[in-house]
Structure 1
Amino acid sequence: MSASPASPVSARAAATVLLLRDRPQGMEVFMVVRHHEIDFASGALVFPGGRADPDDAAVAEALGGASHATPIHVAAVRETFEECGVLLARRRGEQGLVGAEVVQRLEAPRAALCRREAAFADILAAEDLVPATDLLVHFAHWITPRTQPKRFDTHFFLTVAPEDHLALHDGGEAVDSVWIRPADALDDAANGRRKMIFPTRINLMKLARETTAEASIGAARSAPIVTVEPEFVRAVPGGRELRIPLAAGYGGEIFLAHDMPASGGAQPR
């Protein structure tokens, strides 16, 4: 039985990760292009991410219940590994992240993980690894509007990409990838060179305020996280006006969604 407007479907927990790196031309963020055969937002440029799995809770519990080691933090680490081959993890008892040689050795298990034929907990245990959830800095929290038939409760995180890990799309849900300056991605979307959904565009606008990874992470650490659940205001020429909380820190309250829809069953990323 389908839910009525007065009884919205539950929003599924999800995580999105904005991998950052500094280059002479400015800070870049890693983004992937969704497969063209995916039902919603096909071909759109998005951040890596996905929904939380039940197994993420078990991994989080093994981390001791620290504030930065919740199931959604584990989901963020797992999805980053699945979708772009970057593994934010350490050898147990060590401080530095694992090197590229470990990531390369785990390429086959990663492929099995993407096919849902392996468990992230087992991959970590085989190498005695611990997710580096403390490196994830909370950046934003978006929930799909209640009027939609499929909803996600998505947390966005910032982190600096390990220099020696090769970030690359998985070839399944994502068919291309790019390191790009936030301002350039926004310009590409504005000029029709790339597809982009509303939450991606708005979060890129927020990210583009800073020019280095350190400044972006510092700003995120000091800013409160205010949940965003876009509300339809009215239809206007060229799109729709949506309202988000002014306190969420996006520099406004009413935004024109002239690009792809804000929801429609897709995870905000």
Structure 2
Amino acid sequence: MSKRTHTLSSSTKDKKLDAPRPSASIVLLSPENQVLLLHRVQTSSAFPSAHVFPGGNLSNFHDGTIPGPDDVKRHEDSLPYRLGAIRETFEESGILIAREGDANGNPLNLPNAERDIARKSIYKNEVRFVEWLRGVGGVADTDNLLPFTRWITPTNQPRRYTTQMYLYMLPLSISDDPAVSAAQSEAMIPTADGGAEITAARFDYASTWLEKQRKGEIVLFPPQYFLLHLLSQFLNKPTLGSLSSSELTDYYHSQREKLGSFLATVPTASEPKAVKHHTAQIPWADKVISPNMLGVRKSDKRAILGLDKPGPELTGTDRGGDWERVVLVKFAKHVARDVEVRNREEVLAEERQPGNGAKEAKL
């Protein structure tokens, strides 16, 4: 995608914003197209008590160097982001997204005991991730990561990140992988950091995760809820009664094909006004979203978050997110509650009704 500028504008630099830290996460699909979420502890440094996708900060030691804070290329998909996403997923869940020998090899499968030793060594920076992989005859499967939006933390937050999200689909016949099998039954996972951040990992259907949030059983922050909302359009539990093994494989494969097409297709909006907005011509694979406050609903005090802006670091570029939708959310003690994705025009029309005006946001 072409850029109108290649460095940050002077107005953005003058604000002296804290540069967002590079990070990466993976929306990981099981052989049954369930989504992996990790449960973070209440004292976690980010997303406390929440269920999140595996991922974390990039490391120069493990992942390589990325462009500096004043370069817009810092906010683009690249090999360091892909390696960081795979490494962090391995550290946090034990699931290894790698191939035997080279990019064309079979999925690399190692015993849990060997994985756990490696996860701790990699976490402590005792060995580089790619060197350890090479030593066990594998390579990171970076080629099969599908970019699936980037999120830049708004400027009103004390810690800011530029997080590249990826989608990865585990092979439909990988059920013998011990780490995947454990997450399919919500295992309490031994973690490389001794349980300081993550307590459990589980695969479940996107719609099930959303329903658990609606019932107040789990915490989902806006990025996770929004992406699960999109996935729930395609990844549903079979409802056709008894299906043979081959029929199930065809069913899951068809879901994946439709999802892959969705990531690459434009326009990404359906309503006429939204289709005319320039963000509708940015595929989901390339969207950059920095949630911005549009107002507060008078009826339930939930914040209305716009998703179309890419953040100040990308001012003057042609990057952007999703204008057609907004996220409604209530924050209480730094925890997100009552998250919902709605049509932007519908929500704003509701707030324009007499006696139901939203409070204007103070940006």
Both proteins in one fold, TM over 0.5: yes
Equivalence for 2:293 = 232
Equivalence for 2:321 = 248
1:248 maps to amino acid: G
Shift in Å, 1:49:
0.5
**Superposition map of 1:115-264 within 5 A:** 115-162=124-171, 163=174, 164-165=176-177, 166-167=179-180, 168=183, 169-171=189-191, 172=195, 173-211=197-235, 212-222=255-265, 224=283, 225-236=286-297, 237-245=300-308, 248-249=321-322, 252-258=324-330
Equivalence for 2:39 = 33
1:128-164 C-alpha deviation (Å, 9 max, x unpaired): 4221101100111110002222110011111112513
Equivalence for 2:58 = 52
1:169-211 C-alpha deviation (Å, 9 max, x unpaired): 4542210121111111111101101111111111111111112
Q: Structure 1 residues 94 and 233, CA, compared in 2 at 3 Å: closer, same or farther?
A: closer
- Structure 1: how far apart are the matches of 2:331 and 2:258? 28
1:97-127 C-alpha deviation (Å, 9 max, x unpaired): 3442366533311122234433213312312
Which shifted more, 35-44 or 179-188? Answer: 35-44
- Structure 2: how far apart are the matches of 1:73 and 1:221? 19
Whether the 8 Å CA contact 1:34–1:174 is kept in 2: the answer is yes
The runs of 4+ residues in structure 1 deviating greater than 6 Å are none
In the superposition, the TM-score normalised over structure 1's length comes to: 0.81
- Structure 2: how far apart are the matches of 1:136 and 1:215? 16
1:3-58 C-alpha deviation (Å, 9 max, x unpaired): x99321001111110111243xxx31011100222144322111101011103444
Shift in Å, 1:259:
5.6
For structure 2, which runs of at least 5 residues remain unmatched after alignment? 1-12, 67-75, 184-188, 236-254, 267-282, 310-319, 337-363
Which shifted more, 69-78 or 234-243? Answer: 234-243
Equivalence for 1:63 = none
Whether the 8 Å CA contact 1:86–1:103 is kept in 2: the answer is no
Q: Which of 87, 92, 96 lines up with 1:83 in the alignment?
A: 92
- Structure 2: how far apart are the matches of 1:259 and 1:181? 25
Whether the 8 Å CA contact 2:24–2:165 is kept in 1: the answer is yes
Question: What secondary structure is seen at the aligned counterpart in 2 of 1:148?
Answer: coil
Whether the 8 Å CA contact 1:13–1:153 is kept in 2: the answer is yes
Equivalence for 2:109 = 100
Whether the 8 Å CA contact 2:219–2:335 is kept in 1: the answer is no
Question: What secondary structure is seen at the aligned counterpart in 2 of 1:10?
Answer: coil
1:96 maps to amino acid: G
- Structure 1: how far apart are the matches of 2:14 and 2:302? 23
Question: What secondary structure is seen at the aligned counterpart in 1 of 2:224?
Answer: helix
Whether the 8 Å CA contact 1:195–1:259 is kept in 2: the answer is no
Question: What secondary structure is seen at the aligned counterpart in 1 of 2:82?
Answer: helix
Q: Which of 21, 32, 44 lines up with 2:30 in the alignment?
A: 21
Whether the 8 Å CA contact 2:212–2:218 is kept in 1: the answer is yes
2:83 matches 1:74: yes
Equivalence for 2:351 = none
Shift in Å, 1:94:
6.0
Whether the 8 Å CA contact 2:150–2:165 is kept in 1: the answer is yes
Q: Which one has a bigger Cα radius of gyration?
A: 2
Q: Structure 1 residues 262 and 243, CA, compared in 2 at 3 Å: closer, same or farther?
A: farther
Which shifted more, 40-49 or 108-117? Answer: 108-117
Give the CA RMSD over aligned residues. Answer: 2.9
- Structure 2: how far apart are the matches of 1:5 and 1:257? 31
Count, aligned residues:
250
